[in-house]
Structure 1
């Protein structure tokens, strides 16, 4: 395994595979903050060259966190399909990239190969790809999952209706819920981020969403994004649960900072299958985002793209219905500006798709980041071209509880119209029966929330 190259009249030596992966990453403020980024463009190019010549076997044999100390590493390694891995282990990363880019390489072929990949392999090939490469590679893959409805099919763009409220007020939640549905948003999930993470408050919010969906026969899923242990307690008390949610990290220590472990996730998955009210079999929902491991001092000296890929390797173990990266939420310490957020969004979406996940993106930014609404609309447009499974739908694109900027109800409709995409079929049929949509497009009745008050 060669970790040295000569370029521009200079010899570059890298300590190990983890160092190569970090130095080969595109510029990210989080990697600079961690002290692991390339010193300059020359070192970055040299690292990419060394990385391109490493084999997939080299990457499996050198995870960024050793199996002996990290359960995420063990889960990823144990989930590898060995016969598939042995057909590709001698490929260089450059050869793997070329294979993905070939016209004749279909999404079904990539889905099969994904079962033989570790997250380090997925991250490595993403580092050798341009933004357009990431779009083209992801667009080939459709990963289907079923909860009450099915996400991930070609020709569909789904959305999460996010009716957050600064006090978890039932009337406020229902106002946003009615408005979002009236714009044809909410087919992926109606998912509330709660202010109050207590069991009684979680049960109240779950019942609010569930009763509304049942009353109006909305073909979708509900979720209250409390901590997973809170949701489990609510479920054991009889609360109506479709999806169980948790934020996850790419290292064991990072997950411990979130208050979760493999043991807890295993218990939640089994409980959701046994006592949840969804059709299934896919009943888990995970959110991720580059930089979370660094923020909790759980990165082990690894770069944030590789750690993000490991989140997807962990998520894959639980056969989730939804996964999304909240790409611009964590702040400029980790993704400084529009260029970095755009790159991260395209990387995350591609890596999630290549890992086999029904991958969505929360195309968003915080108000102290060098980005604005036009930048996020640009990112959402690029991701739609890449075949993104779903986006968030928030009133006016402004979350009044989490205080960040995101995609609005109107953005979902615009992206569907621009790319000739439709909501999920069952949801579209329901929206047409309500007079909200006709042939996938909004009618004059769209946006009239009083539809649901009569």
Structure 2
């Protein structure tokens, strides 16, 4: 295994694969904060050269965190298809990149090979790709899943309606919900981030959203993004949840900081399948984000792209309905500006799809980051071109509870029209029945929440 190269007369040597992976990463403020980033553009290029020449077997033999020490590593390795890995272990990382990007390589071939890739291999190939490579590669991969509706269908752009409220007020939640639905938002999920993480509040919010969806016969799914243990208790007691949610980290220590383990997640999946209201079989929802492991001092000196890929390897074993990276939410300590957020969003989407999970992105930023709404709109257009499964939909793109900026109801409508995409099929039929959509275009009723007031039930004429 060669860990050095000569570039412009200078020899660059690297201690181990972990250092190569970190220094081959595109510049991220989180890696700089952790003290593992390349010291110069020349060192970054040298690391990419060394990484490109490593074989997949080299990567396999050097997991980011040792198998004996980390539950996430064990899950990734224990679920690897060893027959497929044996076929490709002699490939270099550069050859894996060429395989993915070749015109002759179809989606089914990529999906098959992905079963023989560890998360570190997925991260490694992403590090060798330009932004356009990440878009082109992700576009080739289709991943679908079914809860009450099917996410990931071709020609569709779905949205999670996020009706957050600073006091968890049922009427405030319903106000956002009515407006969002009138714009065609909510086909991926109606999902609330609660202020108060308790069983009574989680139950009340689930009942508010579920009863509304039932009354109006809306083909979607509902979820309250409380801690996984809170949701389990609520659903076991009869709260009407379709999915169970949890944030993930890429190391065991990071997940312990979230108050979870693999056993807890397995129990949650069992609760969702036994007590949840959805059709299934995909009943789990996960969120991730580059930098979370560093924020909890659980990164083991590993770069944040590699750790993010490991989140997807963990998520994969649960066959989730939805996964998304909250790409700009964690702050400038980890992704400093719009350039870094854009790169991270494209990396995360590509790595999620290559891992084989139905991937979305919360294209967002916080107000202390060097980014603005135009930057996030640019990222949303790039991700839409890359075949993303879903975004978030928030009133005016401004979350009044979480205090961050995101994609608005109007943004999603514009993206669908610009790239000629539609809502999920069952949801589109419901919109047409409600008079909100005709021939693929929003009608004059769009954006009018009074469509959902003054009467009960849908118009069945």
TM-score of the superposed pair, with normalisation by structure 2 = 0.98
Quick check: 1:413–1:441 contact (8 Å CA) kept in 2?
Answer: no
Cα distance in structure 2, aligned partners of 1:234 and 1:147: 19
Q: In structure 2, what is the equivalent of residue 186 of structure 1?
A: 186
Look up the SS of the partner of 1:324 in the other structure.
strand
Q: Distance in 2 between matches of 1:134 and 1:437?
A: 33
Q: Report the equivalent of 1:359.
A: 359
Q: Give, in whole Å, the separation in 1 of the partners of 2:74 and 2:225.
A: 27
Partners of 2:106 and 2:310 in 1: CA distance: 24
Say whether residues 1:117 and 2:117 are aligned partners.
yes
SS of the equivalent of 1:5 reads strand
Shift, 1:58, TM fit: 0.9
Q: Quote the Cα distance in structure 1 between the aligned partners of 2:453 and 2:173.
A: 14
Distance in 2 (CA, whole Å) between partners of 1:112 and 1:41 is 35
> Scaled by the length of structure 1, what TM-score is found?
1.00
Q: How far is the alpha carbon of 1:439 from its aligned partner?
A: 2.0
Q: Which residue of 2 aligns with 1:166?
A: 166
Question: 1:396: which partner in 2?
Answer: 396
1:202 and 2:168 are equivalent in the alignment? no
Tell me the distance in 2 between the aligned counterparts of 1:187 and 1:113. 31
Shift of 1:275: 1.3
Q: Take 1:113 and 1:279, find their aligned partners in 2: how far apart are those partners? A: 30
Runs of 5+ in structure 1 lacking a partner? none
Q: How does 1:242-253 map to 2 (within 5 A)?
A: 242-253=242-253
8 Å Cα contact 1:56/1:91 also seen in 2: yes
Aligned to 1:176: 176
Give me the whole-angstrom Cα distance separating, in 1, the residues matched to 2:64 and 2:10.
27
1:229 aligned residue: 229
Q: SS state of the match for residue 63, structure 1?
A: coil
Residues 102-111 or 421-430, more deviating: 102-111
Q: CA deviation at 1:236?
A: 1.1
2:285 alignment partner in structure 1: 285
How big is the shift at 1:273? 1.0
Query: Is 1:214 matched with 2:214?
Result: yes
Determine helix, strand or coil for the equivalent of 2:285: strand
Q: Give the whole-Å Cα distance in 2 for the aligned partners of 1:301 and 1:156.
A: 39
Q: How many residues align?
A: 454
Shift of 1:440: 2.0
Aligned counterpart, 2:330: 330
Partner residue, 1:369: 369
CA contact (8 A) 1:30 1:304 kept: yes
Once superposed, what is the RMSD of the aligned Cα atoms?
Answer: 0.5
Q: After TM superposition, where is structure 1 displaced by more than 4 Å over at least 4 residues in a row?
A: none
Instruction: State the match for 2:22 in structure 1.
Output: 22
Alignment partner, residue 423 of structure 2 = 423
**In 2, Cα distance between equivalents of 1:277 and 1:434:** 24
Corresponding residue number in structure 2 for 1:317: 317
CA apart distance, 1:87: 1.0
Work out the CA distance in 1 between the residues paired with 2:216 and 2:29: 46
Aligned to 2:339: 339
Name the counterpart of 2:458: none
Task: Between 109-118 and 394-403, report the one with greater CA deviation.
Answer: 109-118
Query: How many Å separate the matches in 2 of 1:360 and 1:260?
Result: 22
Q: Secondary structure at the match of 1:267?
A: helix
Aligned equivalents of 2:45, 2:418: Cα separation in 1: 37
CA apart distance, 1:138: 0.1
Structure 1 residue 4: deviation in Å? Answer: 1.1
CA deviation profile, 1:97-132 (whole Å, cap 9, x unmatched)? 011110011111111111111000000000000000
Question: Helix, strand or coil for the counterpart of 2:360?
Answer: strand
Residue 147 (1) aligns with residue 147 (2):
yes
- C-alpha contact 1:55 1:92 (8 A) present in aligned 2: yes
Instruction: Measure the CA separation in 2 of the matches of 1:65 and 1:379.
Output: 31
- Deviation, 1:12, is 1.0
Partners of 1:12 and 1:29 lie apart in 2 by 22
Q: Deviations over 1:43-64 (max 9, x none)?
A: 1001000000001111111001
Q: Distance in 1 between matches of 2:166 and 2:106?
A: 45
Task: Provide the C-alpha distance between the structure 2 equivalents of 1:161 and 1:85, rounded to a whole number of angstroms.
Answer: 39
Instruction: Give a deviation string over 1:260-313, Cα, whole Å, max 9, x none.
Output: 001100110111111111100000000000000000000000000000000000
Query: In 2, Cα distance between the equivalents of 1:405 and 1:49?
Result: 37
Q: Corresponding residue for 2:58?
A: 58
* Contact 1:232 1:268 (C-alpha < 8 Å) held by counterparts: yes
Who is 1:89 aligned against? 89
Q: Which residue in the other structure is 1:80 paired with?
A: 80
Distance 2:415 2:107 in 1: 23
Counterpart mapping for 1:375-390 below 5 A: 375-390=375-390
Q: What is aligned with 2:301?
A: 301
Q: 1:129 is matched with which residue?
A: 129
The corresponding residue for 1:262 is: 262
| Counterpart secondary structure, 1:68 | helix
Alpha-carbon distance in structure 2 between the residues aligned to 1:357 and 1:56: 21
